[in-house]
Structure 1
Amino acid sequence: MKRVVTAFSFAAATLLLSSVLTFAQAPQPSSQSGANTQPDSINDKDIEMLRANLRENRKELMAQNMTLTADEATKFWPIFDQYRKEAIKPNDERWALIKEYAANYDTMTEAQAQDYMKRSTAVDQELHALRLKYVPAFEKVISPKKTALWFQIDRHIDLMINLQLSSLIPLVNASE
């Protein structure tokens, strides 16, 4: 039963993310020669609303899939909230990088491509390090197995979001 709830929850989150992100697609290469496709209009307010929605859904998914006693929940959620608060900064960097990539897609230089790779990897490493930083804090209030469950669920959510984002972001045009 737990697997069904988890699978359904992740599917629902992916569907939500998919429907919300469709308006945020980065520019696609044009099939017409010499024509540049402009990205859809998306502003910072739209992105913030999307991100707030994702944060709320992440917490709901976590709550649905963690079996916490009342005492554990009282101690777990403040740590979880602090962890997610700290995750905002590297995720700000990720969104800025995506916007920059979209803005430079048609004119990307070799140097910009290298910078994109370095910065993207740095964000991934920062988020991974942040998750590892919180393992001891969670283990003080819940068991190591429940901490591992938190770790897995959080990582799976990030992987799903990254998969969805990567499906919307066109690959670098290396033919030029």
Structure 2
Amino acid sequence: MKHLLKISCILAFMFTFAGYAQIHDEEAKLIQEAFGVDKKDMLMMYMALPDDEATVFWPIYDAYTGEKNKLGMERYQILKDYAANYESLSADQADDLTTRLLKNNMAIEKLQLKYYNKMKKAVNPLQASKFIQVEKYIESTMRVRLQNNIPFIGEAGQLKG
């Protein structure tokens, strides 16, 4: 029960607001807390794009962020469904949640590949690779922070048939 409360609090904190812009804002707050800077500021410092490349790169980044936020909303719903049901999760529910999560992960990977290809044409492969590297690092850090507060299946009892 303690873990369910923990996950509910984290999800409530992360996703109190509905809508894609708010999800992005909550992600930005978590990144600020974890790294001490805004995500876009971190990217600007790390990538150090010349003005001509920056002019082309940032609109592509903004489009990527818009599409990724939609996938973030899907992930939020999966986590919300898990939090609501993990104590009495049936095999069918576990299958549904796992399948949805894996498909969401694949959609994020596909989106990142799509935007990597756009970015490498717009700026160059090195800068596009730097973006993906930072994106993956931030993504991994956020997932670990969240995963540390999600209870394992069956932690509160046994799975139902």
Q: TM-score, normalised by structure 1?
A: 0.72
How far is the alpha carbon of 1:50 from its aligned partner?
A: 5.8
Whether 2:85 is the aligned partner of 1:89: answer no
Deviation at 1:105, TM superposition (A): 1.6
1:65 maps to: 46
Residues 38-88 of structure 1: CA deviation (Å, up to 9, x unaligned):
944938962555641424733222122111001111111000000010111
- Percent identity over the alignment is 26
Name the aligned partner's letter for residue 68 of structure 1: L
Query: Where does the alignment leave 5 or more consecutive residues of structure 1 unmatched?
Result: 1-24, 29-36
Per the normalisation by structure 2, the TM-score is 0.78
- 8 Å contact kept, 1:26–1:170: yes
Contact 2:7 2:150 in 1 (8 A): no
- In structure 2, how many angstroms separate the alpha carbons of the residues matched to 1:75 and 1:138? 9
Runs of 4+ off more than 6 Å: none
- Matched residues in 1 for 2:114 and 2:28: separation? 19
> CA-atom RMSD, angstroms?
2.6
Partner of 1:27: 4
Question: What residue ranges of structure 2 are gaps of 5+ in the alignment?
Answer: 30-37
Q: How many residues align?
A: 144
Contact 1:26 1:102 in 2 (8 A): no
Change in 2 beyond 3 A, CA 1:38/1:122: closer
The Cα of 1:131 is off from its aligned counterpart by: 0.4
The answer as to whether partners of 2:14 and 2:26 remain within 8 angstroms in 1 is no
Amino acid at match of 1:52: D
